Amino acid sequence: MRHFAIAHGMRRALCKESRLEHPYHLKEDLVIKPLALAISVVGTLLSTHTQAYDYGQHANTTLEKLINDYPGRYRGTANFAGAADWMQSQMGSAYNVSRQNFTWNNGSRASQNVVAYAAGTKAQYVVIGAHFDTYFGRPTLQGLDDNGSGASVLTEVAKNLGGLQLENGLQIVGFGAEEEGLRGSKAFVDSLSASQRANMLAMINLDSLITGDMMYAHAGQNSTANPALASLREHTFQIAKELNIPLFTNPGLDPQYPKGTGCCSDGEPFEPLKIPILYIEATNWELGDLDGYTQTNNPKIPGGSTWHDPAEDNKAVLTDAFGQARIDQRLRDYSRLLSRLVLELTNADLMASTASGGAVARNMQDNLQRQHQAMVRLHDRRWLTLQAASREVGSVDGEIGVDGEYNPDSGFDSPLNPQARRLGLHALGDYQLSSSLNIGASLSYLNGRDKLEHRGKLDSDTWQAAAYALLNDGGPSWLAGDVSIGRTRFESKRNLLIQANGGPVLLNQQLSGNTDALSLGARVLGGYDFDFGAIKSGPFAGLDYSHSRIDKFHEKQNLRTALAYEEQSFDSLEASLGWRVRGAVALPYGLNVLPYGDIAWVKELADGRLDDLQLTAHADGQARTAQLGSVDKSFGRAQIGSQLAITPQLGVYAEVNSRLGHTEGSQTGYSLGVQWMF
């Protein structure tokens, strides 16, 4: 209920009386979560945890049991104890839950708070609370509006945020004995240590969300002297506008309650902490005495309010007056609004965005490595062609070609790699400088698309130029090498999707950006082929160096989750040792097949790529670290393929390439290409 500093009629007098009771003695006792709840609670808990839910549904489940099984839930009653167990069970399993016992009136009166806590990566935390008790001494009072509504939404916000990675911690409190002078919230504040007070960022209070004509959000009374403390209210209105939720604030028609402020509920004891306070309620500040106490002008609500009245604050009366749709709408909209607000206050959205943005950056790095491998395989195929041919000194040969490559999600054994496809064009030519030395150059264009999580994508356009050489006089030994340079344009679209476990989507945003990348490479490879007639096979070894630099990057959208990062660079130096086989088979009609395959052990001697990356969020300009995963420094690589010479000028090839024994799983690519030789 809303407590008032002065009396306005019988109900206001009762409120005043509850606030002016004798000073109380606080005694705190944190009790570990009971080993078992009542069988009925456990049964319902299990059923709700196994079912998917949308906004408002979990709150409605909480509400129905509070009002039907636990009416008259005030101190000292079995229904209060049952309601406390039910509130605890409905918070979800992702929290450290305790009970805070407290007393007042010289220890003659006692109640308790239900406290759920999820730690963040920082010491700072946010408090959101609602009382779940009903007015003392009225055993039939369901208290649907005051305050089953606020308590039920509280549990849904808790469940929606449960299990998410938080930067700022989250404390969720079901207050007891609010109806006897804000006793639960006072006890909670009094129990705080100096460091807990210093680290509290904000407090949100929910009270009476159904009966009132309009939905309100107010700042605390402390915001009149310090307008900066109204920031939480303004933050809430920004979210409400985005979600298209009609939200209002106190118009200040009563000078006792300045414009934009609220009071008189469990947020009040937090005001001396000089933190932003947010009062969430439903009433009508334009009726009656203009003090927010008259909730509605609905003729089915005598006197315009339902507070504390067993004959009015119940489901039968409220559904008759407003319809079930009003209850469902309020539970749904308040859950949407507050889940999003708490998501942002805890920076859970920024933590998720950092992880998501890091995955995109990681994909850029992997993309550059795959592009390098595409050039490596282009030159390898050319060297196989040259080794199988007999050329005159001074001759010039070349080819142009088009090819495509597809990387499925799962490689051979693991679904850890995103699906990718690539279309390539290339042209190359080489000169037979001597009987044993061939030198050449290549130019290639690669267009790629990598699938990202939640239907995101990473598009790339790459130009690569290279010079290469092959030393082989037709004998068993050979030595080859190349140097390369590449330029890539990246266009990224990532979909940031945050969803409650088994529940609604909390955030769904699309963010995009672009940047450029530079790649440099140098490679040397040599081996010895034993002659087995049509088949030649033997060992090979090589060193492959690449340097990659990705320019500064920032996402275009004016969203708090948009990210940016500074230039990043990394080096790879792969040593390889393997065995290869190649052949030449003449077919009818002048066709020739050049099958080939190899398998190699690869040792990464440098960084390979980055282990982590600093990304800066648009919301606060702070850099957060995305863990990209450690680099596997030892793995295998294998390929099998065949070139088919249809005519002396026209050829096709098919190839399968795979990374094996890698900590991130196998990564397999399937390639097809056409070559025109001249």
Q: What angle do CA 52, 280, 69 make, to 5 degrees?
A: 55
Is 51 or 440 the better-scoring residue by pLDDT?
A: 440
Q: Is the pLDDT of residue 657 over 50?
A: yes
Going by pLDDT thresholds of 50, 70 and 90, the confidence category of residue 60 is very high
Q: Which pLDDT does position 662 carry in this prediction?
A: 85
pLDDT of 67 > 70? The answer is: yes
Q: Residue 677 pLDDT > 80, yes or no?
A: yes
Q: What is the mean pLDDT of residues 431-440?
A: 96
Q: Can you give the pLDDT at residue 43?
A: 43
Taking only the tens place, the pLDDT of each residue in 145-199 is 999 999 999 999 999 999 999 999 999 999 999 999 999 999 999 999 999 999 9
Residue 337's pLDDT is 98
Contact 152, 144 (CB under 8 A): no
* Beta pairing partners, 550: 517, 568
**Sheet of 109-118, strands arranged across:** 29-32, 96-104, 109-118, 169-175, 125-131, 200-206, 277-283, 214-219
Helix, strand and coil percent figures for the chain, each rounded to 5: 30, 40, 35
- Residues 398 and 675: their CA atoms lie apart, in Å, by 10
Average pLDDT over residues 310-337: 98
Per-residue model confidence as pLDDT tens digits over 39-51: 344 444 444 444 6
pLDDT at 38 over 90: no
- Mean of the per-residue pLDDT values of the chain: 91
**What is the biggest distance separating any 2 CA atoms in the chain, rounded to whole angstroms?**
111
Output the pLDDT for position 409. 75
Label residues 628-649 b or e (16+ Cβ within 10 Å = b): bbebeeebbbbbebebbbeeee
| Phi, psi values for residue 149, rounded to 5° | -60, -50
Q: Give the amino acid at 572.
A: S
What is the DSSP code string of 203-225?
A: EEEE---SSSSEEEEEE-GGGTT
* Cα–Cα distance for residue pair 135/453, rounded to 1 Å: 50
pLDDT band, very low/low/confident/very high, at 623 (cuts 50, 70, 90): very high
Residue 189 tokens read as: 């504040």
**pLDDT score, position 417:** 64
Measure Cα distances from 144 to 79, 132, 134, 442, 578 in Å.
15, 10, 9, 76, 74
Nearest to 474 by CA among 431, 440, 435: 435
- Between CA 324 and CA 330 the distance in angstroms is 10
Prediction pTM value: 0.89
Element (H, E) at 199: helix 194-199
- Position 27 pLDDT exceeds 60: no
User: Is pLDDT of 30 > 80?
Assistant: no
pLDDT band for position 37 (cuts 50, 70, 90): very low
Digit-coded pLDDT (tens) for 555-604: 999 999 999 999 999 999 999 999 999 998 888 877 889 999 999 999 99
How many whole angstroms separate alpha carbon 168 and alpha carbon 38? Answer: 33
Of 332, 446, 354, 431, the residue nearest 164 (C-alpha): 354
Cis omega before residue 147 (within 30°)? Answer: yes
Q: Residue 34: pLDDT above 60?
A: no
With a pLDDT cut of 70, the percent of the chain lying above it is 91
Task: Give residue 416's pLDDT.
Answer: 54
Evaluate whether 356 touches 509 at the Cβ level (below 8 Å). no
Phi, psi of 38 (to 5 degrees): -60, 145
- Per-residue confidence (pLDDT) for residue 298, from 0 to 100: 97
Residue 56 has pLDDT above 90, yes or no: yes
- In tens, the pLDDT along 605-615 reads 999 999 999 99
What confidence tier does 2 reach under pLDDT thresholds 50, 70, 90?
A: low
Nearest Cα to Cα of residue 282 among 220, 327, 316, 320: 327
Amino acid identity at 424: G
